[in-house]
Amino acid sequence: MRTAVFGGTFDPVHIGHLMMADEVLHRLSYEQIRFVPARIAPHKADDPGAGPEDRLAMLRIVSADREEFVVDPYEIDRDEVSFTIHTLRYLLSRGEIDGRPGLIIGQDLVDGFDRWREADEIERLADLILVRRPGSDDVRFQRRHALVENVMLPVSATGIRERVQNGLPYRYLVTEGVYDYIRRKGLYQVPSTSM
């Protein structure tokens, strides 16, 4: 199956992520979006708020009624820092992906991409897919990539976590299932100090 890999912390998964995934499916004719939540993202030193199992559970909720969305717990299960190159090699070794995998990258990550572990090798193994993000500068991405003209939604997981903490509305920034899950589990109420 033609697959685009979508990594991130997804803390929580929100409508910005979902629209991105949908636009990539639609515009670049992938058949599957594979969400791969990071256990510990190398570029985020701070504690992300919710634990890996809750982040995974929220992704499973949004994927449940969408055949093209698949959640892969590979990085969560690995119990160490996640690097994209390892994930790509693992997915390719499993033989579930037809042709080259796509790799979705938000505009805000372009600047740091060269510092990703084995960045050249990532580019060799995957088709990079750049997705625009409100608030990010129009930086030039020097690597070969496809640009998706996605709808710009100024939503971030950080903003949602802050809204929950401050008692502000966030209901329509996530799906109904995720909203219910956050409330049921009492996520993001206080800044947490451990994963």
Question: Rule CB under 6 A: which residues touch ligand ATP?
Answer: 8-11, 16-17, 20, 105-106, 108-109, 131, 133, 153, 155-158
Closest approach, Cβ 112 to ligand ATP, in A, equals 11
Contact between 143 and 163 under an 8 Å Cβ cutoff? The reply is no
* Closest distance to ligand ATP from the beta carbon of 121 (Å): 19
Cβ count near 64 (within 10 Å): 11
CB of 167 to ligand ATP, least distance (A): 19
Nearer to ligand ATP, 95 or 104 (CB): 104
Helix boundaries (H) for the chain = 15-28, 52-63, 74-77, 84-94, 119-125, 157-165, 176-185
CB of 147 to ligand ATP, least distance (A): 12
Q: Give me the residues paired with residue 104 across strands.
A: 129
The residue whose two tokens read 């976590």 is 161
In the bound state with ligand ATP, the residue whose beta carbon lies nearer, of 135 and 169, is 135
Q: For residue 96, how many C-alpha atoms fall within 13 Å in the half-sphere facing its CB?
A: 14
Both tokens of 39, joined, read 């256990």
Measured from the CB atom, the residue of 97 and 109 that comes closer to ligand ATP is 109
Smaller CB distance to ligand ATP: residue 92 or 153?
Answer: 153
d(CA 139, CA 78): 33
Among candidates 74, 88, 136, 82, which has minimal Cα distance to 109? 136
Tell me the residue number closest to ligand ATP, measured at CB.
Answer: 106
- CA-CA distance, 101 to 157, in Å (whole number)? 26
Name which of 98 and 195 has its Cβ closer to ligand ATP: 195
What is the closest distance, in whole angstroms, from the C-beta atom of residue 95 to ligand ATP in the complex? Answer: 26
Q: How far apart are CA 56 and CA 141, in angstroms?
A: 30
Question: Residue 4 or residue 97: which is nearer to ligand ATP going by CB?
Answer: 4
Instruction: For residue 82, report the phi and psi dihedrals to the nearest 5 degrees.
Output: -90, 130
